[in-house]
Structure 1
Amino acid sequence: MKAIDVRYLRKEYRIPEKDPGLAGTVRHFVRPRHRTKVAVDAVSFEVEPGEAIGYLGSNGAGKSTTIKILTGLMSPTSGSVQVNGLEPHRDRQKYVREIGAVFGHRTGLWWDLPVTDSFRTLSRMYEIPAATYRANLELFTDLLDLAEILPVPVRQLSLGQRLRVDLAAALLHNPRLIFLDEPTNGLDVNSKAVVRRFIRLLNQQHGVTVFLTSHDMADIEGICDRLIILDNGRKVIDDGVDGVRRRLTTTRRLLVTLAREEDTAAVVSSLRASTGIDCTVTDRHQISCEFDPGKTSAAHLVGLAMRDHEVVDIELREPTLEHVVQRLFAQPPPVPQDHG
């Protein structure tokens, strides 16, 4: 059974249109006009149990709408959605026992209660066996460093502390699948690192399926193995992280460090004459060359540099995922992939 099975998902919104002013309001009341906005358009994909999926797209691409449908907060206009064999918006009472969800700045805990009281209340709501509750609480307290904040009311927690307890709360009942919508938004660097390590551990060691949306590419690279990318409500890419890099990147960067500072200009000139590539001097002893691996290779460039000069170090840099995704949305959209 698939963890998630989405077939030709479509979600439309009816948006009222009225002319400005009191007269426009009256006319709209008597004869309302609407336009249809398509937020998600014929999107299909499957997620196997234990996968870690990054669900990406620019603002308004349809990410949040999809997550609301997958978590049962919203029903689709058409198409089919099954999560762990259930239809989220139809089987909601049973379904919520199978998933966990963390939505950025919104907490699912009780604002005035100490964290431990919120956890105990959730354990009764989900009917978590006492042994399971104790084991999970101990594990999450250790991994998320919760010991000092368990007695503290939720309203007194910092954003980073609250997110950590929200993660623990979403996982107390051992869900097989967790949805994360911008889970590190607004956190400091250290808090982000703790959250990423925790989610990755749950995925890799405990087999929890992760479905993540984030604008922070470090979240995606640190947690996900596969990316589904939307543009204007349609799926345009579904591939592994490395596959996305290969498909969308045409250049690599080679850094060559020379033994003598005075050789840098000569090497830049020699490489330009031999390959047509314009390298730049980035340091007293170092040059940087951006090249298309389909036209030449790093080994060829290094060989040319070493032919008459002493090279002491080389470094080949792959483009960051953030750079790749930025380039994707800066160019005309790829042809949508409508198959599953």
Structure 2
Amino acid sequence: MDKMIKVENLTKEFKSYSSRSGLKGAFRDLLTRNYKIHQAVDSISLDVKPGEMIGYIGENGAGKSTTIKMLTGILTPTSGNVLINGMNPHKEREKFVKTIGVVFGQRSQLWWDIAVQESFRLLKKVYNVSDEDYNSHMSMVIEALDIAPLLDKPVRKLSLGQRMRCELAAALIHNPPLLFLDEPTIGLDVLVKLKIREFLKELNEKYNTTIMLTTHDLTDIEALCERVVMLDEGKIIYDGALNQLKTSWGEGKQIKFHFKSPKTQKELKESTGSQLIVWEPSDNENSWTANVTNDEDVISQVIGDVVSNHQILDLKILETSTEEIIRNIYEEGVIHG
């Protein structure tokens, strides 16, 4: 199979009731109601190959979760075609759900009052997983996610980080070839995030699991995904390599200097000639950042000018962050990838 996910002109519209103002309006509403149509997802097309790890990103309300819910069969599209693992999620529901795993960061699939391992056993029965398959696969999952000490505990007694690791394990009991993750690291501390990222890499390498990840934490995307799909107002505005996005939109670089003594902006401007450099104060009056174009000659010239005129203790050359690039894209308007 050359396509794990194939989406063509997928659209989802929601109809909402709009009330009229005043007493007269209330009486009119009794007879006829006004409705507004909101297009949450607007004719998107998308292909994902087996084994790909794809980041699906966008601002709140862009349509990310609505897309995931249509791809997983929770919502029925208004129009368009969806084929996942060769199946229609809505017409072949029972067969389809056995081939996917889903983790929603703010919803649980574990039973609140029973031990984690009892939830796992129930899900094992639901998915009709044999003892042999369960033991061979889940031993790796439990070890990689470090949840063995949690198996005897009721879910309600777990911390958020512990619960999310168990949620991820629960989604993988039937070892699905496709995993949907909707904000899986929301609210988690750095160490738990790192553990989950490492596990997802290992899962992808060992089983060639296709992973579709939506998140507001762009470090998750950078750590896991080579390809990103960016959504804005229900439309795809970029679909391509993360590196290409950085190359195209990460126009400048930052050179952070830590000087031996305090400096003024005027001193720094005078010592670095006439290039278009924006000097900004950093942590304290001894630290300044030069924002320059992404040009090796300019960068070398700026460093040379500063070093020959001032005593420095340290310098760092920083790429424009992915977060900053994406913020700039949304502020400046729609792009096409």
Deviation per CA, 1:7-27: give whole Å up to 9, x if none. Answer: 111111111222246764553
- Once the two structures are aligned, what percentage of the paired residues are identical? 37
**Residue type of the alignment partner of 1:144:** L
What does 1:136-175 correspond to in 2, within 5 Å? 136-175=137-176
What does 1:211-250 correspond to in 2, within 5 Å? 211-250=212-251
Question: What does residue 320 of structure 1 align with?
Answer: 321
Question: What does residue 127 of structure 2 align with?
Answer: 126
Question: What does residue 88 of structure 1 align with?
Answer: 89
Shift of 1:161: 1.3
Farther-moved stretch of structure 1 (128-137 vs 38-47): 128-137
Cα 1:186–1:269 change in 2 (3 A) is closer
For 1:300 and 1:48, the matched residues in 2 are separated by 45
Question: What does residue 273 of structure 2 align with?
Answer: 273
The question of whether the paired residues in 1 share the 8 Å contact of 2:278 and 2:292 is answered with no
Farther-moved stretch of structure 1 (280-289 vs 127-136): 280-289
For 2:18 and 2:174, the matched residues in 1 are separated by 45
Shift of 1:209: 0.9
Cα 1:328–1:120 change in 2 (3 A) is same
What does 1:36-115 correspond to in 2, within 5 Å? 36-115=37-116
Deviation per CA, 1:61-95: give whole Å up to 9, x if none. Answer: 11111000000001111111111111111111111
The question of whether the paired residues in 1 share the 8 Å contact of 2:256 and 2:290 is answered with yes
For 1:274 and 1:314, the matched residues in 2 are separated by 21
The question of whether the paired residues in 2 share the 8 Å contact of 1:11 and 1:40 is answered with yes
Question: What does residue 299 of structure 1 align with?
Answer: 300
Shift of 1:29: 3.9
The question of whether the paired residues in 1 share the 8 Å contact of 2:127 and 2:174 is answered with yes
**Residue type of the alignment partner of 2:174:** H
For 2:303 and 2:57, the matched residues in 1 are separated by 37
Question: What does residue 13 of structure 1 align with?
Answer: 14
The question of whether the paired residues in 2 share the 8 Å contact of 1:116 and 1:151 is answered with yes
For 2:281 and 2:112, the matched residues in 1 are separated by 56
The question of whether the paired residues in 1 share the 8 Å contact of 2:62 and 2:234 is answered with yes
Equivalent position SS for 1:87: coil
**Residue type of the alignment partner of 1:42:** S
Farther-moved stretch of structure 1 (68-77 vs 131-140): 131-140
Shift of 1:272: 4.0
Shift of 1:279: 3.0
- For structure 2, the 5+ residue unaligned runs are none
**Residue type of the alignment partner of 1:73:** I
For 2:82 and 2:271, the matched residues in 1 are separated by 55
TM norm structure 2: 0.90
Farther-moved stretch of structure 1 (140-149 vs 217-226): 217-226
Does residue 1:187 correspond to 2:174, yes or no? no
Deviation per CA, 1:259-317: give whole Å up to 9, x if none. Answer: x6489989724454231424356567654210122696322323444556677754220
Cα 1:311–1:118 change in 2 (3 A) is same
Deviation per CA, 1:123-161: give whole Å up to 9, x if none. Answer: 121111211101222112211111111011222222211
Farther-moved stretch of structure 1 (239-248 vs 207-216): 239-248
Cα 1:22–1:177 change in 2 (3 A) is farther
Cα 1:309–1:60 change in 2 (3 A) is closer
What CA RMSD, in Å, does the superposition of the two structures yield over aligned residues? Answer: 2.6
For 1:313 and 1:186, the matched residues in 2 are separated by 34
Shift of 1:113: 1.9
Farther-moved stretch of structure 1 (120-129 vs 225-234): 120-129
Corresponding residue pairs, total: 335
Cα 1:309–1:157 change in 2 (3 A) is closer
For 1:58 and 1:285, the matched residues in 2 are separated by 36
Farther-moved stretch of structure 1 (282-291 vs 62-71): 282-291
For 1:44 and 1:169, the matched residues in 2 are separated by 30
Deviation per CA, 1:74-121: give whole Å up to 9, x if none. Answer: 111111111111111111111111110000121112222211111111
